Amino acid sequence: MRKLIYLIVLPILGLLFSCQNEGSHSGSISSPDGRVALHGFLNTDGQPGYMVQFDGKTVIDTSLLGFDFKDEAPMRSSFAIAKAETRSSSESWEMPWGEQRLVQNNFNELKLSLEETTGAKRNLNLIFRAYDDGVAFRYEFPKQDGLTELTILDENSEFALTGDHETWWIPGDWDSYEHLYNHTKVSEIDTAGKTRHPNLVGTYLPQVAVNTPVTMKTADGLYLSFHEANLTNYAGITLRKDEGSLTLTSELVGSERLGHKAKVELPFQTPWRTIQIADKAGDLIESNLIVNLNEPNKLGDISAYFKPMKYMGIWWHMHLTKKSWDRASGKHGATTAEAKRMIDYASKYGIEGLLVEGWNTGWEHWIGFDDREGVFDFVTPYPDYDIQEVVRYGNEKGVKLIMHHETSAAPRTYEQQLDTAYQLMQSLGIHAVKTGYVGPIIPKGEHHHGQWMVNHYRKVLDTAAKYQVAVNAHEPIMATGIRRTYPNAISREGLRGQEFNTFSIEGGNSTDHLTVVAFTRMLAGPIDYTPGVFKRDLRPYRDNSLNTTLAHDLALYVVVYSPVQMIADLPEHIGDHPFMNFIKEVGVDWEQSLVLDGEIGDYVTIARQERGTDRWFIGAITDENERMKEISLDFLPDGKEYVAKIYMDGKRAGFEEEFVDYAIDSKEVKKGDVLNIRLAPGGGAAVSLLPKE
């Protein structure tokens, strides 16, 4: 790893800004390529703020910063700049697994050390960074006399937009990200009157706000996405939309039980508030801003226990209602025999993981019960599931178990059992767990995205690391790049996943869902979307059909990034489908990823090179519109011949409820060639490019 950090004084760019609130104290930085500029300042009241420009045009206007506390005066005004320092950093680091191996991390930083001129003369530091792909800032409460802890009632970070941008957003739910995306102008963001989502078990929408990442397109064709990085010991962010204003303001997820948003001990640094800026939509996906703003790997080499993999599950069974998690229903899914049948099928296609849900006692007292503490037991299998025997059989066939811990949103019960649960896993050689938090959090008054839960999710990662366990969390806290520090945070849900297609009362995920997800949720990090549903008409089990084609689902193995990729469907629905050849071949760990084209909510095409090989894979998906794709193979290495196998929509796909019609084509190609592929309405295509032998 190359690392070079040096301190320089950057030229002051203050003249670039004409800022009406600007006082005499300010500092500025620009990105290494000079296109992004950030100006931090104090206004005439001594309140801190910032502005951002891209190519000389203001993209974030005068935005003020500050805090309200319990039993402490607010920090909003009367500050003076005691010190303004700048530094630059240029380094590259290696992802242990990821969308790419080497990540460039180059930025310029401005630190404003503020001191109040009146009262207690408290200190507050602001750290701003400018990268080529956006800006970020965080607050630092330094160690100081007379102030040991702060109870935060509100963080008031403004994001003053310069226009009524097109916006792709989900409501600022404090308990769930499992909403469909809305596409409106900023001024049309409205969740008033909707305090709950009718199809979600845990849901709470206290004000008109959006969850992040939230992505926008300006009238000038610029793309902006707002999120946070390194969410540690703090509450998750939502962005509040005030009536009549184009300024979004941070609204932290609160605890009604404790009556505050967050409580912190000094010294303390908040998460980074991030603004990704790009002139192509696809550059948002290629951006590494969020991971770069996290601390380096603190677990060391985890390859001894985690390697990216594909997996199947005793899972879709239950979502289809063919089987059940509990035993009382008489159709228990997690039996030794079913696990062995799944292992046999997975092993035939080189699929290395098997998730088994409903293996442990407690499921009789799950959804719909308020008293869920002390119910789930994470070490006791149901009597028809012989875990030792399943592990033994799996080892024989090259298929490892993925453990399942549904906490039913009773984290205290889970925490009591964390050590024993992970000890059991370690003793069985099981190194990955899928966790779940369905329902309103117990104790009442806590929410999934609040500080108390953020700390719970972190405790799970810490304990898991101790026992060499990698975690794929459902109903999680949003990804904020923590995987850089904790590479055992392998994947998570945090969106409306595939399973919604089974139980949704709104007719399933929209046709354009993933074409929005790629530019919103996916900017935060890996997604356990669970593609691989071959039987797309879910009848007779569920009265739903999926709203996209089979080739669309196949493309998701490349489009949607995760180091664990599920093949969701049941062996009897997949059989020997020729698309399984692609699933068998497709990589799960990447040397590099290129977004070839894309528009939010319309289409996206991504090419990824498998790590350690010369193989490339392409995934392309479209919304409800049919499209012809011209995919240029310029990215292939010089002078090497490839065989392209194209798995695509058949002629009837996408029409008249025909979602499974497919075609496969094969041709020899080289750098510079162009593939012309038709995507059906709701369709997609997956291409493997293997070097010619």
Active-site residue set: 499
Residue with tokens 């070097």: 691
Footprint of Ca ion on residues 454-493 (CB under 5 A)? 474
SS3 243: coil
CB of 198 to ligand NOJ, least distance (A): 17
Out of 133, 154, 406, 610, name the contact with ligand NOJ by CB under 6 A.
406
Distance of CA 54 to CAs 225, 389, 538, Å? Answer: 14, 60, 48
Residue among 271 and 313 whose Cβ is closer to ligand NOJ: 313
Which does residue 406 touch among Ca ion, ligand NOJ, none (CB within 5 to 8 A, set by kind)?
ligand NOJ
Tell me the closest approach of the beta carbon of residue 548 to ligand NOJ, in angstroms.
19
615 binds, among Ca ion, ligand NOJ, none (CB under 5 to 8 A by kind): none
Structure tokens at 620: 């392309």
Least spacing, CB of residue 334 vs ligand NOJ, in Å: 12
Amino acid at 387: I
Structure tokens at 619: 């995934």
**From the list Ca ion, ligand NOJ, none, which binds 264 (C-beta under 5 to 8 Å, kind-based)?**
none
Give the DSSP letter of residue 271. Answer: P
Give the nearer residue to ligand NOJ in terms of CB position, either 363 or 603.
363
User: What residues between 309 and 328 interact with ligand NOJ by CB under 6 A?
Assistant: 315
Query: What's the rounded Cα separation, in Å, for the pair 438 and 496?
Result: 13
- Block residue for tokens 């909510």: 601
Q: How far is CA 232 from CA 167, 209, 236, 366, 655, in A?
A: 27, 22, 9, 30, 47
Structure tokens at 299: 């677990």
499 sits near ligand NOJ (criterion: CB under 6 A)? yes
Nearer to Ca ion, 170 or 285 (CB): 170
Locus of tokens 């993209």: 59
Residue 569 touches ligand NOJ, criterion: CB under 6 A = no
Whether 254 contacts 260, CB under 8 Å: yes
Tokens of 683: 């369709």
Q: Least CB distance from residue 9 to ligand NOJ, whole Å?
A: 51
Contacting residue, 474, 483, 608, 629, with ligand NOJ by CB under 6 A: 474
> Rule CB under 6 A: is residue 357 a binding residue for ligand NOJ?
yes
Is the Cβ of residue 351 or residue 551 nearer to ligand NOJ in the bound state?
351
CB of 493 to Ca ion, least distance (A): 5
CB of 529 to Ca ion, least distance (A): 11
Are 579 and 550 in contact by the 8 Å Cβ rule? The answer is: yes
Strand 262-265 with 149-155, pairing: antiparallel
Query: Which of 493, 512, 553, 591 is in the footprint of ligand NOJ by CB under 6 A?
Result: 493
Minimum Å gap between C-beta 391 and ligand NOJ is 21
| Binding flag, residue 375, ligand NOJ (CB under 6 A) | no
Binding-residue pattern over the window 670 to 689 for ligand NOJ, x denoting contact by CB under 6 A: --------------------
Residues near ligand NOJ (CB under 6 A), total = 8
Among the listed residues 73, 80, 428, 438, the single contact to ligand NOJ using CB under 6 A? 438
User: CB-wise, 406 or 553, nearer to ligand NOJ?
Assistant: 406
Q: In the 3-class helix/strand/coil scheme, how is 505-552 assigned residue by residue?
A: CCCCCCCCHHHHHCCCHHHCCCCCCCCCCCCCECCCCCCCECCCCHHH
Q: Does 394 bind ligand NOJ (CB under 6 A)?
A: no
**For residue 51, which of 27, 34, 73, 33 has the smallest C-alpha distance?**
27
Sheet holding 489-492, edge to edge: 489-492, 470-473, 432-436, 400-406, 353-356, 309-314, 564-566
| Tokens at 187, concatenated | 């001024």
Give 86 or 544: the residue with its C-beta nearer to ligand NOJ: 544
Residues of this chain that interact with Ca ion (CB under 5 A) are 474
Give the residues lining the site for ligand NOJ (CB under 6 A). Answer: 315, 357, 406, 436, 438, 474, 493, 499
